Amino acid sequence: MELWAVWLIIAGILLVAEMLTLTFYLLWLGVGAAAAAVAAWLMPDSLIVQILAGCVTALVLTFATKSLTSRIQTAKGFTDPIDDLIGKEGVVLEEITFGKRGIVKVGNETWSAFSKQNLPKDEVVLVIARGTTIVEVQKRGGNK
C-alpha cells in the first residue's frame, strides 16, 4: 500500500475519533496527517518530510486556534451555551452513586454526571455545576 494512503487512513481515523469526542484535540492531528499524505504523494521517498509536514501543520493550527479561541472567549458579550445547563432539570439514565459516575439526560443531550448523593435511574435531578464533559447534579429540591 502506498504511504500516502496510510496517512489518509490515519487522518480519517483521527477525524472520526474527533467527531466522537468533540474536543478539537484530534482535529488538528487529523489535518496534520492529511498534510503528511499530500507530502507523501508529492515526495514518496522522504518519510522525514512527511512527518515534518504533519507535525508542523498540527502545531501551527493548534497555536493559531488557541489564540483565536481565547480572544473569542474574552470578547464582550460572549456566553458559553454550556453554562446555561446550570439550573436545568434532567433525568438519570444510569444510576449515580457517590464516587461513581452515571449518565443524565438534560434536554436533548446526555451527559456524564456525578453527585454527592445516590441517585437511582429515572430520578429527576437539577444540574448544579458543570465541567468540560461532566455535570454535577443533585435531587430536584435537594440540598447540596
Q: Which of 73, 102, 118 is the last residue of a domain?
A: 73
Please check whether residues 99 and 43 belong to one and the same domain: no
Together in a domain, 57 and 111: no
Separation between Cα atoms, residue 34 and residue 78, nearest integer Å: 33
The domain tally of the chain equals 2
**Domain co-membership, 40 together with 90:** no
Please, which residues have CB within 8 angstroms of residue 123's CB and are 6 or more apart in sequence? Answer: 91, 92, 139
Digits of tens for pLDDT over the chain (144 positions)?
899 999 999 999 999 999 988 677 899 999 999 999 999 999 999 999 999 999 999 999 988 887 777 776 677 776 666 677 888 999 999 999 988 999 999 988 899 999 999 999 999 999 998 887 889 999 987 654
Q: Are residues 109 and 50 in the same domain?
A: no
